[in-house]
Amino acid sequence: LSAAGIPWSVLRNYSSASAKEKARRNAICERTELLEVLKARVKQLQASNVPEVTVNKVELAPLGNDKYQDPLRKVVAPGAAEEQPAPRGRDESPARPSSWVEKLKKEMYIRQLKVERKLSIAASQLAREGQAKAKPKAKAKPKAKAKPKAKAKAKAKKSLKSPKAPKAKVAAAWSQSHAGPHGVYAHRKPRVAAVKEGAKAQWPRRVLKHKDSSQYKILQQTIQSSLECFLFLQQPEEAERFLLLYHSSPVKRRLLSVNAYNIVMRSWARKGCLQRINQLFSMLESVGLRPSLDSYAAALECMGRNQSSTKAVWRCVQQLKNDGFHVDELFQKCLFEEDEKEKVLRAIRIVQPNYQLPPPPKPQTCKSSLLQDFYSKEKMVPYPKLDFTVQELQERFQQQLEMELDNTVTIESVESTKPLTPQAIKARKLLATLRSQWHDSILQALQKSKRSMSELKTVSGYNILYPYLCLMPDEEYVGIMLQILNTLSPQGESLAVLARELGSKIYNRYITQRKLRSRQLEKVQEVYEEYIHLLAKDSQPDKYLPREYWEKLVAEAGFGPSLNLKDCSWPYMLLMRLGMHMLELLVQAVKVPRNVLNPHLEPRFIPVLYHVYSFHSSWQVGLIKPHPIFSQIVSDAAETLLTFNSSAIPMLCPPVPWTSPHFGAFVLNDTKLMRFVDGAVQHQLLLEQCPPVNLHPVLDALNQLGNCAWKINQPVLDIIISIFNDKGNEKLDIPPPISEAPRPPAAPSNSSTCNKSQKHELLLCKKKTAEMHSLRMDALYKLSIANYVRDKVFWFPHNMDFRGRTYPCPPYFNHLGNDVTRAILLFAEGKPLGPKGLDWLKIHLINLTGLKKKNALQERLEYANEIMEEILDSADHPLTGRKWWMNTDEPWQALACCMEIAKASRSPDPAAYISHFPVHQDGSCNGLQHYAALGRDLIGAMSVNLMPCSVPQDVYSVVAQQVEEFRKKDAEQGVKIAQVLQGFVSRKVVKQTVMTVVYGVTRYGGRLQMEKRLKEIDEFPEEYLWEASHYLVKQVFNGIKEMFSATRDIQNWLTESAKLIAQSGRTVEWVTPLGLPIVQPYYRSRSTVLNCSMQNLSVKTSNGNQKPDTVKQKNAFPPNFIHSLDSTHMMLTALHCLRQGLTFVSVHDCYWTHALTVDVMNQICRQQFVALHSEKILQDLSDFMLEKYCSPGRETRALWQKKLMEQLSNVPKTGRSTGQELQSSGAVWR
């Protein structure tokens, strides 16, 4: 059972491995800390029907209400092991302990004595607190408590003396109950629960004390998500039983919030059991918790279902008012599912027959000075229409809904055009037979596992995973596991990745089912059918933004479920544990006959999946690797179907507009507004605390980006697919198949003679093969999805990272992809080129070639006209002509542009030619632009095109020129490496380092970048790579320091401020000029060990209870702050382009629009850049941080606080360049 927590160093013996490997692993197992778990494992194997942890009788002392006593006999609570001896003695263990065991016993006994002395003092103090609270409720049986108490003291005393006391009986209880830190089974008697290692047993008490800590919240979330499962399963009895496991313990009940009781109330409300709800209200009162609005909503819902008496409803309403609530708040603040709202209203009308729902709150308007014009009602214009009728959009919505209801989408691979061989037909039949057998085996294993869990439930409390395995039909779990098996790489995948993927898939299915069950989907459907009138070409134009229109429709809908579900997210560790359990079932159940490919072999079953280990740096990482037989069958079958999650496919209808941090993007798939590291909750909490009106600009910008419709450039896609299926082309960024991988050297007959160089060569071949497989699959996914939507119009819903940078939600195929992906995307909406559109297409083409970077736009246009013959040849004969396009920086986008220019120039009237082609305008080293503008740095501003100049400046070329001057001086003075570098210092060599230095790249990282660029130059002598890259990075940093003096000052101020903030124990937070709250999620990494039967999994968790990582906080603050300004500028540009009716999308600082509107977009872009930097950005940041971190008003301040206050107040001085000069520059973006 996965819940029985045995470390991998023991249980990896059970994984499929050779006898030699097993012997080696056994030797490693002889370590001190494993004695505890060895004994626990022996007990488990001896008597699987006996609970591994005995029940401490003290924990079952009555709480004053006999009704709640029966379920408590199932509580898993660790106690002194000698109180309840196990049926079998230690000597009956099937494992024969060697002499080292006896020595280790003595060591462990001494160690535990020290731990127990500390814990007994702490626990007795905790017990006194718990008893003080429990005393008033226990008057009915005062004597019942006295005896166990005295007895427990005696036993605790005895346990400190006795060397025979087992130390590990509590180990399995923890893992059976909770994942990692999510379960607290602490004690209120001197004998406190140990969690694997006695020294770690103190943390639950510490967590319980800090109610605001993230760990405490995660523990609460674990309990609540389990209760939500019982609510979903319509099992109120089980929900109440689970609640009582915690409620009955004075220590554990501290983890119960009002929300936990409310979930159980809702379970009973749906059954109409008012008596049970009354009992839960009494329980709330008994532990000193005050009912919330949701508590009263559940009670009134129940009364509405039962048509309760006027007197009962009146009493409930009066109590609600006495607690400081108003009846209207029930409908304004509570979230409802199914018919709950109607039932609450029915109950209210029993005592107030004329009661009407309160009117929806008046919409608030964003007050940001940057968006006064945008949100001004006087300047509001109708929202742009799509080229679709209402009927067409409704049909598209239905297609999208069906896709999301299926959860997965199976599509034809682009490799399906290859002819089918007899070998492939045979392999496919064999694979189909095996999959049918595996389906049955996995199903049986799952059902057996659930049976054992349900039996355990009646013996020792509850297995935390059991309700999560009952949320869907067994067939669905099996389907998810088979999907993982089908997509597993021949090189294998780490356990952590597979566990997370399995857990997430189950969670996503559960959310889909909840939305169906709650009737939320019905309401979304009704609202969406009205919403599309805002977008359809055959409906009346409306002066609303998508978010505003959706909110208006929801308010008008009135009844029905809320569109936001009550928070039901699962803690990360719970997801991982669930995923690990599924993975264990998969590894155990899936087997293949050994002789399936070779009839001469012995016909026995062997595992398809192997649990092996690999080293990543100094870490030992568990991998799941498929057997070569399975990989060979899959390879021979050459299957042409690919299965994706529906969220990986672009949407077939306009996305649902973002209206809150919880709601937007896909119709059913759960999507977070802000992406974050697994397990991190800080960002979501910050967004929830932020006033909704402050998020309006960000939500509106994301909606604008998501509402851009796309289509496929079919001629370019077909050329790419033809090369992809014809062995690829690495030069054109189309990965070749694995069949083209370098062959490993032939092994000599005597393996011992294999020399070091041959081994190294073999290792390189394996590494290259793995890389090729990864790149090939990535390209296969992108091209197959593109081919699937080749005849469709589609949309990319967007969300953002914690800095506010926006990203399309579908992960594989989108416009943020590489050159190949971008080349096959076109705007679905076409616009005429207009008088200057063709010129912009030509300039765009030259930009894509990487030529003429230093030349003015007019010179680029003239150059394009000079090479028109090459452009037309590339368009007409891409694979058979002179192939000019292949030698450009972005060959596929250049080819697509050549084709568009050819069509436009050959049309009767180029100005009237309808173009769908996106033209890009790229920022000139955008990070340096922001620094130069922040510091009003005149010289720096000129080098990044912020100031008027006769020709566009190229900062990379300027830096390269400066480095070359430094090199010449050093070479003249006899510096050897400077002489070696003659002729090798170029724009291309320095570009990446110049671009990333502003985003915090260190000299170490910069040296690696330089080395990589120099490696690409065939003529450069390899023996000088390290020395040359070290020299160059030093010169680049010196050059930037000279050119951007103000930039360095600002960077240093930001870095030093972040360092002091992190040293004070706080994380760095700020708010962007658009009102988006940001927190840096860098904490000192702390791993939580997840105890699973396959291996122990060390999972890094990120939570606010840990100390900030000072190094990461300070190094990341300057680049993250600039990224947040970058995203603010992009969002401002997006919103103002919307007001001008432009099509606009962005790839961070690269903005796309139609050729017709490039000039207008450039003007808006400059205006918004100036508007942004006209704000007192650094001063506002200083004021915000002083208020947040320096507690103004306090007379006495600590020394560190004074130092921080001085640092934050000392805002860097800026130069004198003005916004007007920036405004007049014509080349901010080009």
Tokens at 766, concatenated: 């394996």
Sole residue written with tokens 């674990």: 222
SS3 1148: coil
Strands (E), 492-639: 493-494, 591-593, 605-607, 609-616, 619-626
**Terminal C-alpha separation, the chain:** 61
Q: How far apart are CA 846 and CA 995, in angstroms?
A: 21
Residue 88 identity (one-letter amino acid) = R
Residue 922 known to be catalytic = yes
Q: How far apart are CA 995 and CA 868, in angstroms?
A: 32
Closest to 1169 measured CA to CA, from 1149, 1146, 1195: 1149
Tokens at 866, concatenated: 């000079």
In sequence order, what are the beta bridge partners of 1142? Answer: none
Q: How many CB atoms lie within 10 A of CB 906?
A: 11
Burial class (CB in 10 A: 0-12, 13-18, 19+), 13: middle
Q: Which helix (H) or strand (E) holds 1123?
A: helix 1110-1139
Set 252, 991, 1059, 1114: catalytic member: 991
Set 636, 670, 1126, 1149: catalytic member: 1149
Residue 889 known to be catalytic = no
SS3 318: helix
Estimate the crossing angle of helix 756-788 against helix 714-724, to 10 degrees: 150
Indicate the DSSP class of residue 729: B
Residues 6+ apart with CB under 8 A from 1052: none
Strands (E), 573-654: 591-593, 605-607, 609-616, 619-626, 641-645
Tokens at 290, concatenated: 């005050």
Residue 367 identity (one-letter amino acid) = K
Q: How many CB atoms lie within 10 A of CB 597?
A: 15
Q: How far is CA 595 from the centre of its chain?
A: 42
Residues 6+ apart with CB under 8 A from 284: 258, 261, 290, 291, 295
Q: How far apart are CA 378 and CA 370, in angstroms?
A: 17
Indicate the DSSP class of residue 1229: B
Set 678, 922, 1159, 1180: catalytic member: 922
Kindly list the distances between the CA atom of residue 768 and the CA atoms of 225, 397, 491, 730, 743, in Å, as whole numbers in the listed order.
Answer: 44, 44, 12, 13, 10
Indicate the DSSP class of residue 618: T
Total length of the chain: 1230
Residues 6+ apart with CB under 8 A from 920: 844, 847, 1147, 1150, 1151, 1152
Q: How far apart are CA 1217 and CA 1214, in angstroms?
A: 9
Tokens at 1175, concatenated: 């704000």
Kindly list the distances between the CA atom of residue 775 and the CA atoms of 279, 736, 744, 781, in Å, as whole numbers in the listed order.
Answer: 60, 9, 20, 10
Residue 406 known to be catalytic = no
Q: How far apart are CA 891 and CA 820, in angstroms?
A: 8
- Contact by Cβ (8 Å): 738, 772: yes
- Contact by Cβ (8 Å): 276, 240: yes
Q: Half-sphere exposure of 1162 toward its Cβ, with a 13 Å CA cutoff?
A: 20
Q: How far apart are CA 717 and CA 22, in angstroms?
A: 51
Residues 6+ apart with CB under 8 A from 1002: 1115
Catalytic residue numbers, as ranges:
922, 991, 1149
